[in-house]
Amino acid sequence: MSNVTTGAAAAEQPYEVDECRGVLRVYSDGSIWRSSEPSFKVPVHDDGSVVWKDAFFDSDHDLHLRLYKPASPSSTKLPIFYYIHGGGFCIGSRAWPNCQNYCFKLALDLQAVIISPDYRLAPENRLPAAIEDGYMAVKWLQAQAMSEEPDTWLTDVADFSKVFISGDSAGGNIAHNLAVRLGAGSPELAPVLVRGYVLLAPFFGGTVKSKSEAEGPKEAFLNWELIDRFWRLSIPIGDTTDHPLVNPFGPQSRSLEPLELDPILVVMGGSDLLKDRAKDYAERLQEWGKDIKYVEFEGQQHGFFTINPNSEPATKLMQIIKTFIVEKST
């Protein structure tokens, strides 16, 4: 009799059904465990050349963003550059050391104010939560620009007429969806003016596998099994990866052809499984007459610029971003 009881109790014990990079575990009963530690354990290189602080941007959802600026700026007014972190919509944070180190580098090399927002993560908060949070992070900037009692730490150096929105992987998806939502000239953000978007290895999907997804190496930093898991955990339950927020060219997606969009820079590693989708995205928008540039770094994997921020390709990418900012600011 006791064996039956033990067996029943064992059957009721929740078991792990999904795991992401050691920092997220999803169990059979729907419960979720998240680590307080980052999945990328690298030292933070805070040498004082960049100053930073956190600010609330959405008290309803307890969301912060991290602000960075050069300690000795080269100009009295600096462009504003959003850096929205990646992690398949499921993991990642503005406070992870790899994110923080890259933002230090962006602030110094671009001579810009960097804004790195958090957003609600899946599976607790499935899409469109992350997209909405990205929008709220940009609306926060507008509130600062219009405030009678602004945060002078920001407003003394920030040029609200030169704003660029970038995102890494899932953050690149958020940046794309913001570009579509805000439209050219971002009229609803006035006096904030978005000049362009930088999509760094944007995380797009679709029910039909691309060639690079189907043939990409299993040992890739972002392999197909992990891509599939991120989508399963982040898309609305009952939906597919042709969801309009996931696949810009899905059957239910809004046509991008008639839309007026701000300039977009798309950056991919040549060995990234997401490459074909991003390249197709850029080529279609180019055919429709949009101001879009596609840059591919041969042999580089997903996230090469944050994994090896001092590498030659990452250094070259920084110069490309800097040129894009200068060109689109005039």
Query: Strands (DSSP E) along 49-134, which ranges?
Result: 50-58, 63-70, 78-84, 113-117
Give me the catalytic one of 93, 116, 166, 169. Answer: 169
168 vs 221: CA distance, rounded Å: 14
Instruction: Give the rounded distance of the alpha carbon of 118 from its chain centre.
Output: 9
Q: Does residue 159 sit in helix, strand or coil?
A: strand
Residue 191 preceded by cis peptide, ω within 30: yes
258 vs 260: CA distance, rounded Å: 7
Q: Reading across the β-sheet that carries 32-34, which strands appear in turn?
A: 16-20, 24-27, 32-34
169 annotated active-site: yes
Q: Reading across the β-sheet that carries 50-58, which strands appear in turn?
A: 50-58, 63-70, 113-117, 78-84, 158-168, 194-200, 264-269, 292-297
44 vs 65: CA distance, rounded Å: 18
Residues in Cβ contact with 37 at an 8 Å cutoff, skipping those fewer than 6 apart = 23
Q: What angle do CA 40, 197, 294 make, to 5 degrees?
A: 85
Instruction: Give the rounded distance of the alpha carbon of 18 from its chain centre.
Output: 22
Question: Up-side HSE of residue 215: CA atoms within 13 Å toward CB?
Answer: 7
Kindly list the catalytic residues.
169
